Amino acid sequence: REDLDAAEASRLASSSSYAGLQASRRKLPAWAHVDEIIGALQDHRVVLVAGETGCGKSTQVPQYLLDALPSSRLLVTQPRRIAAVSLAQRVAQERCEA
């Protein structure tokens, strides 16, 4: 979790618009389970995350894992190419990489 917090602080310091994004990201249901998700991935090779539409499964969970466990390998699937492209663009924007 320390790496996750450090990455968040770094993006907050580098981008004036990140504070708004960070506040909205922390309102999503996935944020309440961030420690549980990271812990599960540390204990198991494969973790399946299920939740309601819009809870942050596809946009937030991968970012938590990229920040907290940089050596982890992630796979995020989407049913259609357009959804995958839109998801990638959104995540890049939220990570201040767009």
Residue 23, CA atoms < 13 Å, CB-side half-sphere: 5
- On the question of pLDDT at 81 being above 90, the answer is yes
Per-residue pLDDT tens digits for 16-28: 778 888 888 889 9
Q: How confident is the model at residue 30 (pLDDT cuts 50, 70, 90)?
A: very high
Q: In angstroms, rounded to a whole number, what is the distance separating the alpha carbons of residues 9 and 88? A: 22
Q: Which phi and psi angles does 49 have, rounded to 5°? A: -105, 125
Q: In the chain, what is the greatest distance between 2 CA atoms, to the nearest angstrom?
A: 37
